Amino acid sequence: MTCPVCQGPFTPVGRQRYCGDACRAAAYRRRRDEDRPPVVVPRNQFRKPITVYECDGCGARAVGEQRCEECGTFMRRAGIGGTCPNCEEPVSIEDLLGQDVAIEATGRPSGHRRA
């Protein structure tokens, strides 16, 4: 039988529908989150101060800073987020919720002028 989540083959035991607990949990989250509204960032808010960046070289993360303090290289964008209130580590919304962040479609960030 083929697992509907990871498309991997497996031999079902009893009424088993998924290859393992991880795929079963992923299917549950997908069903549960279908009705959840998307996280939306207002278009008029600057995104750099609320963006989490991650270094490909050392794995360090930072909020609002694109250059890695340890390596001195530019980091890639991990997503919209901030610092965790418990551990003070940078975390993105996608890491927490497993869903993308939508940007509002109207308006421009304040302070921007058309060229």
Contact 94, 100 (CB under 8 A): yes
Task: Please give the structure tokens belonging to residue 52.
Answer: 């989490």
pTM of the shown model: 0.55
Domain ranges of the chain: 1-36, 39-103
Residue 10 has pLDDT above 90, yes or no: yes
**DSSP reduced 3-state for 2:** strand
Cα→Cα distances 16→1, 22, 47, Å: 10, 13, 44
Write out pLDDT tens, residues 20-55.
999 999 888 888 777 766 677 777 778 888 899 999
